Amino acid sequence: MDEDIGDAKQPESVAAVLKVFAILNALGERSDIGITDLSVRLAMPKATVYRFLQTMKSLGYVRQESDSERYGLAMRMFEIGAKALPSPDLVDLARHPMQMLADATGETVHLGSLIDSEIIYIHKVDSRHMLGMYSRVGRRAPLHCTAIGKVLMAWEHPERRDRILDGAEFKRFRDKTITERDAFLAELATVKAQGFGEDREEFDDHIRCLGVPIFDRLGQPIAGMSVSFPTFRFDVAKAPEYVQMLQTASRDISLKLGCTNYPIK
| Listed ranges 60-74, 124-138, 239-253; the one with the highest mean pLDDT | 239-253
What pTM was computed for the model? 0.72
By percentage, how much of the chain surpasses pLDDT 70? 89
| CA 203, 204, 205, 210 torsion-angle sign | negative
In this structure, of 32-41, 131-140, 183-192, 238-247, the range with the lowest mean pLDDT score is 131-140
* Better-predicted residue by pLDDT, 174 or 76: 174
* DSSP code at position 85: S
In which order are the strands placed within the sheet that holds 221-230?
Answer: 140-142, 118-125, 108-115, 221-230, 207-215, 197-200
What are φ and ψ of residue 100, in 5° steps? -65, -40
pLDDT at 181: 97
Q: What is the pLDDT of residue 72?
A: 86
d(C-alpha 185, C-alpha 57), whole Å = 46
Q: Which residues lie below 8 Å from residue 109, measured CB to CB, with a gap of 6+?
A: 98, 99, 101, 102, 124, 125, 225, 226, 227, 228
